[in-house]
Amino acid sequence: MINVDERAAPRRARTTRLRASPDGRRPRSVSDVSIGSVKFYDDYLRWLYRGGRPNRFARLQNRVSAFAFAAGLGPKRAATLEVRGRRTGRDVSFPVVIADYEGERYVVAMLGGSTSWVRNVRAADGRAVLRHGRREDVRLEEIPAERRAAILRRYLSLAPGARPHIPVDRHAALEEFERLGPQVPVFLINTAPSVKPSPTG
């Protein structure tokens, strides 16, 4: 499952109120409840991909998201990526978050280089299709690990659903992301040139 952060501006700080805990021993603040909710949600997202592979619920959610994004629903940075399976030869579709950085677009493998779609992209020599209301033939170019840090930080700012799977805080210094670079593949999205039919003579 891929979540996309649609917020355009930071929210105003809220005043923390205190609430009585169920046992009456100490008050609980709104921040306590919020932190607990975030931890539960992060644990849930990790459970969906335990062992680096999507479980049954993750596959179902991914199918729904892929259908919606391909139809053009959701923000533009959410899309469906199609790539040919290296074993079956059939097209495999899954949702992705597109990270924009310095005028270029990128997709990130939040679960690392051993994931099936990364191996499929490599086997297909980068040939793939992006869909968000329209079809775009693309060529994905894997970029070197030393160039990934800033893109990874941008990606985490856009994809809350990826944060539990990448062990660096999205506000961390760039050096932290540099150490992470070799573990998380990043692909530059190049629009594939259209193929014109050869003239008949």
Structure tokens at 21: 């805990």
- What residue spans define the domains of the chain? 30-191
Name, in order, each residue with C-beta under 8 angstroms of 119's C-beta and a sequence gap of 6 or more. Answer: 86
Name, in order, each residue with C-beta under 8 angstroms of 2's C-beta and a sequence gap of 6 or more. Answer: 62, 65, 78, 95, 96, 97, 159, 161, 162
Q: Which CATH class is domain 30-191?
A: mainly beta
| Alpha-carbon dihedral sign for residues 69, 144, 167, 8 | negative
Structure tokens at 96: 């992705």
What is the pTM for the complete model shown?
A: 0.73
Separation between Cα atoms, residue 185 and residue 167, nearest integer Å: 14
Once rounded to an integer, what is the mean pLDDT over residues 37-58?
A: 67
| pLDDT tens-digit map of 56-70 | 877 788 789 899 999
- Look at residue 91 in the predicted model and tell me its pLDDT: 94
